[in-house]
Chains A and B, each alone.
Chain A
Amino acid sequence: MNEIALPVAQAAELRARLTHDGGALVAKLSGTADLRVTDSVEAILNRVHQKALELAISEVQMDLRELEFMNSSCFKSFVSWISEVSDLTAGQYRIRFLSNPSILWQRRSLHALSCFAAELVTIEASN
């Protein structure tokens, strides 16, 4: 498993990890994504996108199972990322969100993202 460096420092409120293992690119966010880390979330998603294209990945796994909360600014960064993937004419990849059913905001917010781009986004619930 290769660890990929992220362009942000790990903070107490939000921790992030990006790995590449075989054909899979896995990003994991833990903690709280709020007003303090909006720029970091955007930078992380830009790096994920850049790496997915560089490695010609067919699917990115976005693990949010330990993400306690996400505000609308960070949520919008996800919207922008998905929109960018959706606009690709070549190198388009799918996005699989790993969600935690006991963190209830995730069900509604991720459902909204899947409605936004049903052809690209899938949601997998597991603890």
Chain B
Amino acid sequence: MPAPSARRDLGFCEISFEKRPELVSIVRRFVSDFYDRTLDDPDATSRVALATHELLENAVKYSRDGRAKVRIEVTGFGERVRVRIKTRNRAEPADAEHIQRTIDEMRSMDANVYYLTLMRRNAARTDGSGLGLARIHAEAEMAMSVRCRNGTITVSAETEVLLARRKEGAA
């Protein structure tokens, strides 16, 4: 029996594809099944599937060469399960700076307050929604980070699901 804090790899998945928006929904359905099997928590599955879709759409939409990659890791730590989603695509440093500013603003206040603030601010906007990252933060309850290296941008979203919560959800 592993020690309570021992790391257990519960699932891993990496998908790369070309710029075809229709594939995003196909990937979301596929990873929903993957999360469902590895998390055994319908609410957590719904949250992280939503985050996967939003991250992937952004990666596909803003990729400079039309290619994007998503990597998902599900890891157990004692009573907790951590889900980490990473998307990677070619981008300009300015794209990463824009995302970093959004994340910094997001972290400066309550997730739901920020989400509502952004909804009010962007209601009249016509160029994109500007709501994707805030939706991941507020609705999917995931922490976000971004890194840009050698022209490749990596956006990560991470959350933890408590084992006790999984048992309650299954009851």
Contact = CB atoms under 8 A, between A and B. Distances in A.
Interface of A: 13, 32, 34-36, 69, 71-73, 75-76, 79-80, 83, 104-105, 108-109, 112, 115-116
Interface of B: 21-22, 24-25, 28, 42-43, 45-47, 49-50, 53-54, 57, 60-61, 112, 115-116, 119-120, 122-125, 128-132, 135, 138-139
Contact of A116 (B54, B60, B119, B125): B119
Nearest to A83: B123
Contacts of B22: 13, 36
Contacts of B139: 105, 108-109, 112
B139 to A, nearest CB: 4
A41 to B, nearest CB: 11
A2 B3 CA distance: 65
Nearest to B46: A104
B124 A80 contact: yes
B61 to A, nearest CB: 7
Contact of B132 (A13, A72, A83, A108): A72
A34 B26 CA distance: 11
Contacts, number: 76
Contact of A34 (B57, B123, B128, B131): B57
Given A36-B21, A36-B22, A105-B139, A71 B42 contact: no
A75 B24 contact: no
24 contacts: A34-B21, A34-B24, A34-B25, A34-B57, A36-B21, A69-B25, A69-B50, A71-B57, A72-B57, A72-B129, A72-B132, A73-B57, A76-B122, A76-B131, A83-B124, A105-B49, A105-B50, A105-B139, A108-B47, A109-B135, A112-B115, A112-B116, A112-B119, A115-B112
B43 A104 contact: yes
